[in-house]
Structure 1
């Protein structure tokens, strides 16, 4: 058994070209949308009595990690945890609200505010209640429930004369301010890595002005990044952002590099962006985004090593243009990807085209002309207890007139909530690449959804994956700390080069059982998955059994 912590006749089929494939994927989305439009509409939400009335008061109710008014939470250990945790301050919550006293009540803005709060790493749930008082105005109560935000990282292992050590601390809600900070040290053998992080979603107490800073140092490697962002909301007239980063580390263009192929690469990037809403609405978004990004990469030999040819400096300044065209049709569900958390999904048709252009200009220091087009399309459907999520994407890279790194992708997920504590999940994905960068091949394995064959067992230009999971939710809030579940799964997939046709006999299949453990008091409620898989085909290992312990669901 390998443990990982982190048909007889052959038939060949040809693969269509990428533009043809993209057109087919977009046509499929259009057909599905037309089918859904022709089908009976979902039951409309009942009218909201408070809609359009003036908001006279807003009350913020913040709840600690454990509700000690509940006898199940009124225990010594839970009361001690609450005392150790600083509840989120009311002003932090109020800055996330998209409405204020004196405004007309808009149910869509109230729901969007709750979604924004649920997306914060220190809030595990948020809900609003509105009542019409005797004066004919509206009283709004926003209730939030804190998550446990302190994480202690500690591990030690010594084997074969080598010591592996990891120690660190992470807090996502420092003193209830919403600010996050982290520090860690990781020693793997002789090398040690130090990292620091900081994030503030309300910098200088400004609404939705986000600042993040990360720094990592290790022998021969550095990584620094500073980001500033003020994102869109449905009624925001504009948005802006900026980023500065510097990276240093070992690099090679060879698929299987030798020590002589390794070089030191320094990459510096900086960019700014600005977006304008063509119209503000709670039903749809129509936005245009523009930006400027400069990138420079230098290559040097590693001290003390013999190096081959050294690439010349790469430098480019990109003019960026993009758009957001999205219908807003959100639903809230449970037990799709998470256990006890409310999940938000937008079913509306969304199209996001982007274009980055590095023009040939000595003034901008561009060493090679590049054009980087990209488009992403998403759509969702819901009928009764069924949820369908579709997405497709296409990207390419034109460098000095040559077209390379073309990638077309399609993904579909289908979820059926047949029983109260059970979800049947189907997933399929197809990625078609052509002339991909040798350092960025498509990979398939345990971390990508094909269990039983190693972490990154297969690499190539084209990839197919199909999964079935029966997700069983066994126990909610065990010891008031843990959600427990299980899965039965079937995986099938493979990766192959673009130079030859597909052979069905090359598909790799596996079956197995899994355990899911999710912290019920965390904001993400993301499970740790322990999967025991049996490879139905040769997995190039001594045993076809494989045990993996990884974070998150196998697919989404």
Structure 2
């Protein structure tokens, strides 16, 4: 017994052997590298137009503080956290040993180009679908402000957005947006303390939205199968509060949380056709009221692998490998909901690496089990699900070519709120019209060959190209006016641009051609971000607009 007491006493009085962080020096680099002799004068002139991120802003994002223990795992985490910051393109953290055994840190960052004008364009009848002008790092503070004009569900929306990752110098994030739609106004707000560092043990999130807008769907018109776009006015108010705690080892953590969400949907006024012509009688829709309480559970077992040029043109990325499992379960509040029901949600993510191959999968699903379902009607309703499989093959580690396979399936079952998917558009088959082939389920398989080109402007921007083939179809299912489709195929080529070089922001320009019977002219599409891949998983706009509950699991481990 005495030996045990002695061992405990020695352990408590033994000096801490881990090296400690003493001083942290932050060097915020400009957005453009001026070391190359070619274009140096132009690069220096351009940098004068950009305000570098303030060192104190970088320090607040850094997950290391003076006095903390230091090891290689924490150094890599610090780089990953900084690279995930939207106003930083890259970051390097270097440990400088001291004579006393501790370390000083030298943090070097490189900014994204903060002033951005982004265009969204879709050929055919789509035309210009969005225009944004944003300053994403206002005066080096990390704050973003911008004006936007875009088409949402076929109607034009414009407004103003603002966000900051450090409210009054804290770890709280704030995002605000407001604007007008053709039938009213909208306003959205979000305040959150997210999980960012692996040492973060709790997180909380508040969110609110009020909007009057149009719900767009496609209506078959006549025996020839022609389609008409129809707009049904919709008023939506929703809010949520979630909080969570987590414990465990770094990247091997368990999460427990709770959330309350409420949503109200009203369908005032009569539907109207986009072409202005009269419509046949359409079924009326009841007001939806839903307040739900959810218990959130999660488990993760991950590693992050730094790579270059997978879903960026040639920027540094941190690939997430391992397993994440998340679940939400709860009930609606009887007096605050139209229907008593159990609410279930689930998400499963896995990814692995085998030599030059990286593969992964993700499944998300949600639904309600109605406790008062009438006889003959299904107990399960408003079921929404999305599954994705992906694979990346880079034959050589430092090569310029990457092959990407992507499979995306999504659908809805027994939906009581308006629901419809289409096969065409950005999230479906490239080259097909946006409102092509309405249905209840959709499956798209895509194959891309991406190539990063070394060129005479390489000191200014990254340039890449893609060649792709898309194959897909839709199924009719239960939603009103869903027709389904046969298998369709399209092929095309595209350009990928990132400014400045090494940026994680990608401009996408694609030209796609529908193949097979009834083929049409090529369509040009312009947007931001890759069309397929890990960064394109989740968040389908047509699926999200029909959700009955605003507490969702996709970003549970980064914020509840």
- TM-score computed with the length of structure 2 as normaliser: 0.78
Could you tell me how far apart the structure 2 residues matched to 1:174 and 1:242 are? 24
Q: Which residue of 2 aligns with 1:378?
A: 349
The answer to whether 1:326 aligns with 2:304 is no
The 3-state SS of whatever aligns with 1:347 is strand
Q: Which residue of 1 aligns with 2:191?
A: 228
Q: Which residue of 1 aligns with 2:259?
A: 291
Check 1:165–1:332 CA distance in 2 against 1; reply closer, same or farther (3 A cut).
closer
Check 1:297–1:466 CA distance in 2 against 1; reply closer, same or farther (3 A cut).
closer
Q: Which residue of 2 aligns with 1:337?
A: 311
The 3-state SS of whatever aligns with 1:52 is coil
The answer to whether 1:238 aligns with 2:202 is yes
Could you tell me how far apart the structure 1 residues matched to 2:477 and 2:403 are? 33
Alignment check: 8 A CA contact 2:367 2:383 kept: yes
Check 1:548–1:226 CA distance in 2 against 1; reply closer, same or farther (3 A cut).
closer
The 3-state SS of whatever aligns with 1:329 is strand
The answer to whether 1:314 aligns with 2:285 is no
Check 1:131–1:522 CA distance in 2 against 1; reply closer, same or farther (3 A cut).
closer
Deviations 1:63-95 (A, max 9, x none): 0012223324522x3212211211100110001
Q: Which residue of 1 aligns with 2:6?
A: none
Q: Which residue of 1 aligns with 2:324?
A: 350
Deviation at 1:252, TM superposition (A): 7.6
Q: Which residue of 2 aligns with 1:102?
A: 67
Q: Which residue of 1 aligns with 2:491?
A: 511
Alignment check: 8 A CA contact 1:476 1:482 kept: no
**Which of 420, 425, 431 is residue 441 of structure 1 equivalent to?**
420
Deviations 1:154-188 (A, max 9, x none): 999xxxxxx99987641111111111111246799
Q: Which residue of 2 aligns with 1:21?
A: none
Alignment of 1:12-91 (within 5 A): 52-72=18-38, 74-75=40-41, 77-91=42-56
Deviations 1:387-422 (A, max 9, x none): 112212232233444312334443221111114111
The answer to whether 1:417 aligns with 2:381 is no
The answer to whether 1:214 aligns with 2:177 is yes
Could you tell me how far apart the structure 1 residues matched to 2:364 and 2:27 are? 41
Alignment check: 8 A CA contact 1:340 1:520 kept: no
Deviation at 1:99, TM superposition (A): 1.6
Could you tell me how far apart the structure 2 residues matched to 1:66 and 1:109 are? 28
**Which of 405, 424, 430 is residue 409 of structure 2 equivalent to?**
430
Deviation at 1:534, TM superposition (A): 4.8
Q: Which residue of 2 aligns with 1:26?
A: none
Aligned length: 485
Q: Which residue of 1 aligns with 2:136?
A: 172
**Which of 379, 389, 398 is residue 360 of structure 2 equivalent to?**
389
Alignment check: 8 A CA contact 2:368 2:381 kept: yes
Check 1:204–1:315 CA distance in 2 against 1; reply closer, same or farther (3 A cut).
same
Q: Which residue of 2 aligns with 1:524?
A: 504
CA RMSD of aligned residues (A): 3.5
Alignment check: 8 A CA contact 2:425 2:432 kept: yes
Question: Which ranges of structure 2 fall in alignment gaps of 5 or more residues?
Answer: 1-16, 122-126, 222-226, 273-277, 374-378, 479-484, 534-560
Deviations 1:220-268 (A, max 9, x none): 2211011100011321121111012111123588856999x96543222
The answer to whether 1:111 aligns with 2:112 is no
Check 1:437–1:552 CA distance in 2 against 1; reply closer, same or farther (3 A cut).
farther
Could you tell me how far apart the structure 1 residues matched to 2:456 and 2:316 are? 15
Alignment check: 8 A CA contact 1:391 1:411 kept: yes
Deviation at 1:541, TM superposition (A): 4.7
Alignment check: 8 A CA contact 1:492 1:510 kept: yes
Question: Which ranges of structure 1 fall in alignment gaps of 5 or more residues?
Answer: 1-50, 157-162, 500-504
- TM-score computed with the length of structure 1 as normaliser: 0.78
Alignment check: 8 A CA contact 2:313 2:497 kept: no
Check 1:369–1:523 CA distance in 2 against 1; reply closer, same or farther (3 A cut).
farther
